[in-house]
Structure 1
Amino acid sequence: MNLLLVEDEGKLVESLSHLLKMNGFVVDAALDGQTGMNLACTGLYDIIVLDRMLPQQDGISFLRLFRSLGHDTPILVLTAKDSPADRVEGLNAGADDYLTKPFFTDELIARLQTLVRRARKGKAPEIAIKAAGLILDPLRSQVVKGIETFHLTAKEASLLELLMRNCSQVVTKKQISDKIWGSHSKTAMANVDLYIHYLRKKLNIREIRTIRGVGYSLQGDNHVS
């Protein structure tokens, strides 16, 4: 399960990331609301854990904007604000659950697993992603182009998935590096150009367009299914 943790307390991010990974989650972290919003809108996450008090964009504004854009990813809000009015405001803004700090870690995991089960209930499992003439199976790291099938590394598959889910839109180098290598990686930005080169060469495609000084865009049919 892919989880996005949007929290500005570094020590809490570190401890929660470890806890969540030990319980089967693949965790990406953002330390401010704007970075969190950019990552959340990629559509790559099964669930989001959101702090209410954040720099750049607070949790309530995050919720309202995210829901107004049509995203239905489950969101659990973590906050020190525990009054009934605060909880009601968070739920009305679009939160699916609300947990106050300090909290029991077992309760957090149980609530997250419940939200994911609830969101997946009745939904057919996503087998493949289709965009720009490509069919990607992210679980197998396998992509079909025409009559050819290509096997990718996990990083290559994650990068291609990000581009396909944002087909015909510009994905910045920072968005790519944060999502694929993590916001704390010292080598991530240098890896972006290298892995774009790998994808172009391996798939023999020219549709990955370089937006000079900004990032990359996968050109083609922008209908992702």
Structure 2
Amino acid sequence: MRLLLVEADTQLATAAQEYLRRSGLAVDQVCSGRQMIDAVEDHCYEAVVLSTNLPGDDPVALLARLRRQSRRLAVLVTIAMSSWCEPLELLELGADDYLRRPYTLRDLAARITATTRRLPPHEPDDGATSFAGIKLSPLTHAVTVDGKPVALTRREYSILELFIRRKNQVLTRSQIEESVYGWNEEVASNTVEVYIHGLRRKLGTPLIHTIRGVGYQLASEAQPIMMSRRSPAEGSSEPA
């Protein structure tokens, strides 16, 4: 799961980001409302942790803006002791939950998990969780193949979930990396290949295809990309 942490306290943000990443989450962090809006527009997140303690920003207005951008985004608001924001008002405006500060990082991680679990399931066309005998349970992260349980790491699960939600589409290496790593996380050059190899071995099904020179595709059969070729006449000038 990829989430956006909106926090102006640099020390807290760094600690929370490291803790959540160790828990297997992909975490990006910004420190202002403007940066949050830009990030949500440019990237796909499952959750946002929004602090009410952002200098110069109105958390109520930011929350309303978030909800206009996405109704499916899980929003957890962290409320400072000195904040004028009322929890009930934030919930009425669309926050899924709130957490009073100071909080422990363990509490933060648990509240994020609980908040995302309460989200309604995706519509079948928008986010199927099964394909060709592979079934995923978003609530428990359990995976079965033809009814038999398969143990995956958190990142393997995230990649498989991405493939299933975008089945038959070709995903580039950068798209896969973006789904499981936050900004500024070091990614080895062969990381995606290692995860793909592990998924193929554990799933035991030839469904993840390598599309040479492009990326990977989850499909019953590999569907080659048709690339147009220029005819010899194209680009040449007409004779005088």
For Structure 1 versus Structure 2, the TM-score category normalised by the shorter chain is: 0.5 to 0.7
Pairs within 5 Å for 1:90-105? 91=91, 94-97=94-97, 103-105=101-103
Which letter maps to 1:7? V
Pairs within 5 Å for 1:22-171? 27-32=25-30, 33=36, 35=39, 38-41=43-46, 48-51=48-51, 60-67=64-71, 71=72, 73=74, 75-78=75-78, 82-83=83-84, 91=91, 94-97=94-97, 103-105=101-103, 109=107, 113=111, 116=114, 120=118, 129-136=129-136, 142-145=143-146, 149=148, 151-154=150-153, 155-169=155-169, 171=171
- Whole-angstrom CA distance in 1 between matches of 2:218 and 2:151: 17
Structural RMSD (CA): 5.0
- Whole-angstrom CA distance in 2 between matches of 1:140 and 1:113: 17
User: 1:162 and 1:64, CA in 2 relative to 1: closer, same or farther beyond 3 A?
Assistant: same
SS of the residue aligned with 2:190? Answer: helix
* Structure 1 runs not aligned, ≥5 long: 42-46, 124-128, 221-225
TM-score between both structures, scaled by the size of structure 1: 0.55
TM-score between both structures, scaled by the size of structure 2: 0.52
Q: Contact (CA 8 Å) 1:51, 1:78: kept in 2 or not?
A: yes
User: 1:197 and 1:16, CA in 2 relative to 1: closer, same or farther beyond 3 A?
Assistant: closer
User: 1:156 and 1:16, CA in 2 relative to 1: closer, same or farther beyond 3 A?
Assistant: closer
Q: Contact (CA 8 Å) 2:7, 2:29: kept in 1 or not?
A: yes
Q: Contact (CA 8 Å) 1:143, 1:150: kept in 2 or not?
A: yes
- Whole-angstrom CA distance in 1 between matches of 2:195 and 2:108: 37
Q: CA deviation at 1:36?
A: 5.3
Q: CA deviation at 1:62?
A: 3.2
In structure 2, the residue matched to 1:6 is: 5
* Structure 2 runs not aligned, ≥5 long: 31-35, 122-128, 221-240
Q: CA deviation at 1:144?
A: 1.0
